[in-house]
Amino acid sequence: MSRPSDYVDTNRLWERHMTMATYGATASGGVTRLALSPEDAAARRQMIRWAAPLGLKASTDAAGNMFFRLCGSDPDAPPVVTGSHLDTQPSGGKFDGVYGVLAGLEAVEAIVAAGIKPRRSIDIVAWMNEEGSRFAPGMMGSAAFAGARALEDILRVRDADGVTVASALEQTNELVPNVPTRPLGGAVHAYVEAHIEQGPILERENYSVGVVTGIQGKRTFRVVIEGEAAHAGTSTRQERKDALMAAMSMIQALAGLLHDDADVVKFTVGRLVVVPNAPSVVPSDVSFSIDLRHPVSDELVRLGDCIATVCAQHAGPCEVKVEELSSALSLEFPSSMKDRIRNAADRIGVRTMDIYSAAGHDARYMHDICASGMIFIPCYKGITHNEAESALATDMADGARVLAEVLVELASSES
C-alpha cells in the first residue's frame, strides 16, 4: 500500500499559501487579515472551495471556529483534529497559522489520494482569533472549544472600534453563508498542529521538522490608570493627576523587577492608549497591556503576582486597576504524541529535532482535553509577525508529509 505522505504535493501546498495571502495582502508582501474581518471571511470561503471537491464537510460552531471533516468509517468515534488559524497580526506574514490549516488540508488530500478511509473522522480546523490583535486575548476559539473560557465572555469582548466578537461573528457568518453549525466542543481523540517555528533554531540547525516538546507559559494583563485631564499651561505639577506619568513610572518599575541577567523572562508592553492624546492636555486616562512569559511555571506565577502591587506602588495621585486577561502555565506535550511524530518522520526519512515553543498556540488549550502534539517547520531567519515572514516549500511539504502519516495512524487507532 502506498503511504499518504507520497501524495503530498509541494507545489500545490505552496500555491495555496500564495492564494491565501491575497486575502488581506499588503503592499509590501505581508498580510493583514484580522479575526472575523471581511478578509478572514474571504479566506474561509477559499477553504470551502478547496475542501468541497475532496468531499470534506464544512461546519462552524458558536465560537466561529471552522471545521472541514473527512468522514471516518466509524462516525461515532471521537475525531482526530488538526489545524491552526487563518487570522494574522495587523502586519503579519503568509505562513503563521495559515500553514497549520493548509498543511492539514494537504495531509487530508494526500490521505484521500492514497485511497485510505480512516476509522476515525479527521477534522481540519481554523480556530477563531488566535492572534488576539483585534480582540484580546487571543486563542479565543480554541479556548471556547476546550471549555477554558466561557463563550458568553468571549462574545462580549470589543475591538478598538467598540465592535463585539458577537457582532463581528454574525457579520462573518453572513459573508460565509450556508455553513452548517455544529455543537461547540465535544470529544476529541487527538490534536496535532503544524506551525512555523517563529524562531531561528530549525533553520540554523538545518532540520526541516521539529517535534515540539512543550509551550512556554504566558500571563496577560490590562492596566487601566485613571487621572484627570488638565491644561498643560495652567495646571501645576502639584495639582496634576497625570495618568501617563504614572504609567511610565509603573512600566519602568516593572521592567526593573522583571530584568534577569539570563534573559529568560519575556516582558512586553505592546499597547499603550493615551486619552485624550492631545499635545496640550494632561493625560486623563491611560491603559497598557502586559504580556509576561517564562518557561518555568512557578516563576511565571511568582513574577506575574507582583504586577498589581508594583503598579499600585507607582500610581502616584492616580487610580490604577490591574486586570489579568489570561493565564496559561508552561506545558509539556505527552511522550506518546512526541514519539508518534518522531517515528512517523523517521519512517519517511525526515530528520527531526526536539524543540520548545516560546510562542503560544491553540494546541495549548487542546492539550487540556486530548492527547496533543505539534510539528514545527523552519521559517526564514525566525522572522515572524512581520511582512517579511517566509518559509521554504520543501520544508512545508516535509511537515505536511509527517502530518499525513501521523493523522492516518491516529485516525486508525482504537484507543
Q: Which is nearer to Zn ion, 3 or 44 (CB)?
A: 44
CA distance 96 to 85: 8
123 binds Zn ion (CB under 5 A): no
Q: Is 387 in the site for Zn ion (CB under 5 A)?
A: no
**Could you tell me the smallest distance in angstroms from the CB atom of residue 98 to Zn ion?**
9
Residue 187 CB-density burial (10 A; 0-12 exposed, 13-18 middle, 19+ buried):
exposed
- Return the DSSP state at 239: T
Helix extents (H) in 21-114: 38-51, 98-113
**What backbone torsions phi and psi does residue 147 show, to the nearest 5 degrees?**
80, 15
CA-nearest of 393, 397, 399, 396 to 345 is: 399
Q: Should residue 97 be labelled a site residue for Zn ion when binding is judged by CB under 5 A?
A: yes
Cβ-based nearer residue to Zn ion, 79 or 97: 97
| Nearest position to Zn ion, beta carbon | 97
Asked if 92 interacts with Zn ion (CB under 5 A), we say no
Calpha distance 215→94 (Å, rounded)? 23
The sign of the CA dihedral 181, 185, 188, 190 is positive
Answer for the pair 75, 405: CB distance below 8 angstroms, yes or no: no
Of 92-100, 268-276, 283-291, 404-412, the window that binds Zn ion (rule: CB under 5 A) is: 92-100
Query: How many residues lie near Zn ion (CB under 5 A)?
Result: 2
SS3 246: helix
Q: How far is the CB of 288 from Zn ion (least distance, A)?
A: 24
Which of the residues 218 through 277 are near Zn ion (CB under 5 A)? none
- CB under 5 A: which stretch of 94-102, 113-121, 219-227, 365-373 binds Zn ion? 94-102
Three-state DSSP class for residue 350: coil
Tell the smallest beta-carbon distance from residue 365 to Zn ion (Å). Answer: 13
Cα angle value 320/326/328 (rounded, 5°):
135
96 binds Zn ion (CB under 5 A): yes
> Looking at 28-36, 90-98, 165-173, 374-382, which segment touches Zn ion (CB under 5 A)?
90-98
- Least distance in angstroms from the C-beta of 97 to Zn ion: 4
Cβ distance to Zn ion smaller for residue 39 or 96: 96
Smallest distance from Zn ion to CB 115, Å = 32
Establish if 87 lies at the interface with Zn ion (CB under 5 A): no
**Residue 96 or 123 having the CB closest to Zn ion:** 96
Minimum distance, C-beta of residue 84 to Zn ion, in the bound complex (Å):
6
Query: What residues are paired with 326 via a beta bridge?
Result: 220
For Zn ion, the closer CB: 273 or 359: 359
- Nearest residue to 130 (alpha-carbon basis) of 229, 236, 43, 259: 43
Q: What is the DSSP secondary structure assignment for residue 139, as one 8-state letter? A: -
Which stretches of the chain bind Zn ion, using CB under 5 A? Answer: 96-97
